[in-house]
Structure 1
């Protein structure tokens, strides 16, 4: 019985755990293209790994042979996704060929999904001398032979560039206002997305996902197992889990105690049945002989009073700790109750007196108590 309750508890707990988790999380696990790559999850999806319902349109990423996550913007321009900030909703992009400066010359980064938070103007200079000693950044992948390409924010070092026989041009580059992200346009650019808006869900510790099997409505499936990003408190499933967590152990203890009592009752009942059977219809001839040789219907009350009496102490201690139940009335001995004995077996004084008035033998060992 206890094992059945244990199995039932395990099944219920497992079902609660399953129901408390957004089903979408079971089919949309987090994906990593490589050990140093960002985690890919909604609204992004890894092509060939996640089902389409795991991501939002135009947020597909592909894993290349180098373990990099690749985002394709408009005009088939591929960029390496170096970092994804899901709470602030921006991505940090790098050039697969490690020469982002070349792509800044003629690439338009804004699209229908990803846009720049802010644009900054930067001046490139192709000079006949190296100006790195003056603190101007050198663009190594654009520099060739005796010509060195430098870059600086527009307006910086204008006087120096004009005296260095440099050819200059200015480009507009996506940047993030400091101090959110350092500005290093030759290393990476930062783009943000506004739709779908999962910022409040992410801040609350939840995870965004598409609702249902159709459409692009977005829901927040949090750690509380409830579709409510801003909801504070325990969900109904969590409360049910706590309630069952308390009730199931109580049920198990109650069932175990009931099983113990029923087993004890069966043992005591079997014991009494044996006593009654021996008294009413003895089948052993060897035990029948003393009865026939000492035929006595009962014992006189005067003689019964001569049998020793013992009173149970205040702590309920009995002379025989392993025998704390009167075999006649099947009740446990209680403090200050009076017991009577003659043959080494103890009974309630009142119980054994009534017994001996009808039968002069011990109900336990069948010893003829009236003749000792």
Structure 2
């Protein structure tokens, strides 16, 4: 029986090993759009036919209705591929509509990364319009160019224009229109356009008759390897080696290969889900970048700004004066839900106190989000206690920041077509621009629901410990709604008042007084808050923020104000009344006689979450 089991595992191991070894041959096979079209293989991949890991980032091609091979470049025009020279690493392009020069001028000076125009084809040209067709200039005629009525447009190399050639005498009756420098176009060969690539470099591998492919040593790796043909002797050696490993090692190997296989299948399912979402979202989506664009924007991920649970943030540059923050998501975290949440939610938002999503990258298993760069970092960096003056912003500025955050949350709840619940309001997710204006960020946990719906159903708690409303943990405290964001905002206000104090639900010292309760007791006893006072009125500002914060963290959602009311409380000049003690009962509603029992579920029907 044991021998039979070992033989079975050997067989399974060989099957999966053969799948891994022949993966490129089976799934990354060479394809063509039509019988006599160019062969499509690594570094190129055919859209809709090859898996994403069969090609190098930026080398995507597609087949059009006429079965022509189209190069998918991040420019507003499309060129067809005539030939691909893999050994010398260049491709010959043409325009199926025979309007090459007109299309080239539309993308004049636009980058075509990861490709470059061939040096020998670059030339300076001049365009002329002539009142009648000139036989001597027939070869220089520019098709598809919309010139003045009754005129024909001709192109001429600028160097030839300067030569004294009697054959160019007809130009004397023409009018010069434009001069263009470094255009990859020749009047004598108007149908030819060559582009080259340097990375990935497979020249040596191709010259040896082998093929290149991506290494399988990481989900985000762009390293390549030369895939040698496997001989019969190697297969026999693999069988002999596998048989000698023993049942225990074989079980581990089978499990590992199966894990890789299942992970790859799951990732492909996630990619398909994201692509379907982006297709439906076409009307609202911001700019889409390839992974090669992301590397160029971040200068090969040179400057790291921060690290989170779902990804790493890098500083990027779109132009000399336009900086961005690029969040590269971890492919090992989640199933793409955070990416869909972020892009889907941010497309509905346009507010001064919410960070702007500039663009995104969904290039196979590589996903990234591109935001406006905010130079002053997060609010978390500027929270300081009474004894710390190094990063203290002053109470006037802290009041402005608090009001800005409240207006941003109010907009999410009431300003969009659908109500947006953030579920992760905390100082770390409040970014500050150059004038310290706050902007809410990180919508990876956000939910969309209709404005006429008051409750959202959730299967698991979400958010950051210390800022999560009690009803998110247990429905015994009430139903989850927009009031959950109000609670998180209240905890942020109390942290602004008290600085970086540990007032979360857990602490190493169980005898330590719960900080919000301590603040409440000080205000009830009319004792001044121990804060950093610099100017007259600072104490009143801090007291107002503290009272509003205590209103927001009431244990029962029905006792908390809406964000619209919070804004009015922060802007108003009236004296605020103290809320009831939110700490009199810290258990489910009705478990403590000091707090009146409330039936928070009356006339509130539980609703399902909307698909995003």
| Structure having greater relative contact order (Cα 8 Å, sep ≥ 6) | 1
TM-score by length of 2: 0.31
The structure that has the greater radius of gyration is 1
